[in-house]
């Protein structure tokens, strides 16, 4: 952390304070009760951290990918659901900020920077699965703006955010694949119906819900960019910020697996011999492998974020690889922690069991690990992404 920019070091200190005072005491309840972490989001707002991706000219911190990954890792070490909720808010903010009009700056970005507004993405749909860039939700022009119809799935912060960045099919029937539009849908828009509450295997507190839009009227001022130009957003904004936020979250889980294993090895002794587990050669080797794995993943993530923030032309394959690699590392290390920590870890709803459940979400959350590897290969080989 000592190599981070001064601004980010300050943000890290503020995030640690929120984690210690507000998140950690309720992290177990978030998982146990499928509780949306309102306390976490409120504390982040009070600390001025919701405006992480809001440009400084609108009252935010004007931060990029590196800050996002560092902070979501910190939160993910203690409460992965809170990291997911915060991360998706930051991604939604970045999408709004990318081509924000004067109205959107005043109506959304400034309130976000003041800690008064939570936003999130609403891209996924059941019919297109991990191909989130092929929405089937439709929108049609009306006298006052647009009318939306369709059903979104797996919306993090669902039912709790103040606005939702919703993707829709391009209005042009002859549009190319990947040409879609995004609009900001306010939480009190008529025609919104939330589906059943989230009851997940892992990431149980992120309120990942479905949303049915039935003749939902959205004003023209809430269109992001131009109609059908969101293929630009996919690889310039949505993918980088989403993938790095998720990579940071899963890196946090991986680090927590290393930490809990370290504590177990240092404190556990065999009663018959008095030997500490930390002195067992085989366990020393296993723990070294865990440490190497998490540090390799962290290096990839920080390198990708730095290249993305600098606008490096070769940043894309690094960014695409991050979520896939972080997810695999998190699952691997949570699994290894359960093996090393033994029966204490294998009990129902242990901390390690939660790590494994939360880590497993990485492979099924779109874009999936397999799709990301395909995209990475295409980017490296100079082939079209879509």
What is the arithmetic mean of pLDDT over 140-167? 95
Domain 231-381 has CATH 1.20.140.10: yes
Q: How far, in Å, CA of 177 to CA of 183, rounded?
A: 18
Architecture per CATH, domain 121-229, reads as Beta Barrel (2.40)
Instruction: Report strand pairing: 138-141 vs 192-194.
Output: unpaired
Q: How far, in Å, CA of 20 to CA of 15, rounded?
A: 9
Residue 275 β-bridge partners: none
Residue 164 β-bridge partners: 120, 185
- Cα–Cα distances (Å) from 180 to 138, 141, 164, 169, 306, in that order, read 10, 15, 16, 5, 29
The pLDDT, as a whole number, for residue 318 is 97
Q: How far, in Å, CA of 158 to CA of 151, rounded?
A: 13
pLDDT of 177 higher than 60:
no
Min mean pLDDT across 71-85, 93-107, 217-231 is at 217-231
Axis crossing angle, helix 80-98 with helix 239-267, rounded to the nearest 10: 160
pLDDT of 2 higher than 70:
no
End-to-end CA distance of the chain: 37
pLDDT of 379 higher than 90:
yes
Q: How far, in Å, CA of 244 to CA of 242, rounded?
A: 6
9, with CB counted inside 10 A (0-12, 13-18, 19+), is middle
Residues 51, 61 contacting (CB under 8 angstroms): yes
For the four alpha carbons of 313, 316, 321 and 326, in that order, the dihedral sign comes to positive
The pLDDT, as a whole number, for residue 321 is 97
The pLDDT, as a whole number, for residue 230 is 60
Closest CA to 208 of 122, 92, 294: 122
**Confidence band, pLDDT 50/70/90 cuts, at residue 172:** low
For 196-214, write each residue's pLDDT tens digit. Answer: 999 999 999 999 999 999 9
**Confidence band, pLDDT 50/70/90 cuts, at residue 135:** confident
The pLDDT, as a whole number, for residue 129 is 76
- Cα–Cα distances (Å) from 50 to 103, 141, 317, in that order, read 20, 33, 28
What is the arithmetic mean of pLDDT over 66-79? 98
Percent of residues, the chain, with pLDDT higher than 90:
83
Other beta carbons within 10 Å of 114: 16
Residue 224 β-bridge partners: 182
The pLDDT, as a whole number, for residue 270 is 82
What is the arithmetic mean of pLDDT over 249-273? 95
Closest CA to 324 of 300, 303, 351: 300
> Domain 6-118 sits in which CATH superfamily?
Acyl-CoA dehydrogenase/oxidase, N-terminal domain (1.10.540.10)
Residues 85, 40 contacting (CB under 8 angstroms): yes
What is the arithmetic mean of pLDDT over 16-39? 98
SS3 content of the chain, % helix, strand, coil (to 5): 55, 15, 30
Q: What is the overall mean pLDDT for the chain?
A: 94
For 229-244, write each residue's pLDDT tens digit. Answer: 666 677 789 889 999 9
Listed by start position, the domains of the chain span 6-118, 121-229, 231-381
The pLDDT, as a whole number, for residue 173 is 56
The pLDDT, as a whole number, for residue 170 is 66
The pLDDT, as a whole number, for residue 139 is 87
What is the arithmetic mean of pLDDT over 282-310? 98
Closest CA to 136 of 123, 145, 154: 123
The pLDDT, as a whole number, for residue 130 is 76
What is the arithmetic mean of pLDDT over 315-329? 97
Contacts for 184 with CB less than 8 Å, ≥ 6 apart = 96, 104, 108, 119, 163, 164, 165, 166, 218, 222, 224
| Chain centroid offset of residue 250 CA | 9
Q: How far, in Å, CA of 248 to CA of 12, rounded?
A: 13
Residues 190, 219 contacting (CB under 8 angstroms): no
pLDDT of 33 higher than 70:
yes
């Amino acid at each position: 952390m000592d190599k981070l920019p001064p601004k980010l070091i300050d943000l890290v200190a503020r995030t640690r304070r929120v984690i210690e005072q507000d998140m950690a005491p309720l992290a177990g309840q978030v998982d146990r009760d499928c509780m949306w972490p309102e306390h976490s989001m409120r504390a982040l707002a009070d600390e001025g951290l919701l405006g992480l991706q809001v440009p400084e000219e609108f009252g935010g911190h004007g931060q990029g990918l590196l800050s996002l990954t560092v902070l979501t890792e910190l939160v993910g070490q203690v409460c992965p659901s809170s990291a997911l909720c915060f991360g998706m808010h930051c991604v939604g903010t970045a999408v709004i900020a990318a081509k924000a009009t004067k109205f959107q700056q005043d109506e959304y970005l400034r309130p976000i920077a003041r800690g008064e507004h939570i936003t999130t993405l609403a891209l996924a749909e059941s019919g297109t699965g991990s191909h989130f860039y092929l929405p089937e939700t439709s929108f049609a022009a009306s006298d006052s703006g647009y009318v939306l119809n369709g059903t979104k799935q797996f919306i993090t912060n669902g039912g709790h955010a103040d606005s939702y960045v919703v993707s829709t099919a391009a209005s042009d029937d002859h549009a190319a694949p990947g040409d879609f539009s995004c609009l900001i849908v306010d939480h009190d828009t008529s025609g919104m119906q939330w589906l059943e509450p989230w009851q997940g295997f892992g990431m149980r507190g992120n309120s990942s819900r479905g949303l049915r839009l039935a003749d939902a009227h959205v004003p023209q001022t809430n269109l992001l960019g131009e109609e059908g130009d969101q293929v630009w957003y996919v690889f310039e904004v949505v993918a980088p910020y989403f993938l790095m936020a998720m990579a940071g979250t899963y890196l946090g889980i991986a680090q927590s697996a290393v930490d809990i294993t370290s504590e177990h090895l240092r404190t556990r002794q065999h009663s018959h011999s008095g030997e500490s587990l930390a002195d067992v050669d085989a366990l020393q080797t296993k723990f070294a492998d865990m440490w190497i794995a998490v540090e390799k993943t962290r290096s990839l993530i920080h390198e990708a974020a730095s290249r993305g923030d600098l606008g490096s032309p070769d940043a894309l394959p690094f960014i695409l690889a991050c979520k896939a690699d972080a997810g695999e590392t998190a699952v691997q290390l949570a699994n290894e922690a359960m093996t090393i920590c033994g029966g204490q870890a294998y009990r129902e709803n242990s901390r390690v069991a939660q790590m494994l459940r939360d880590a497993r979400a990485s492979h099924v959350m779109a874009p999936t690990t397999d799709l990301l590897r395909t995209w990475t290969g295409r980017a490296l080989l100079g082939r079209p992404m879509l």
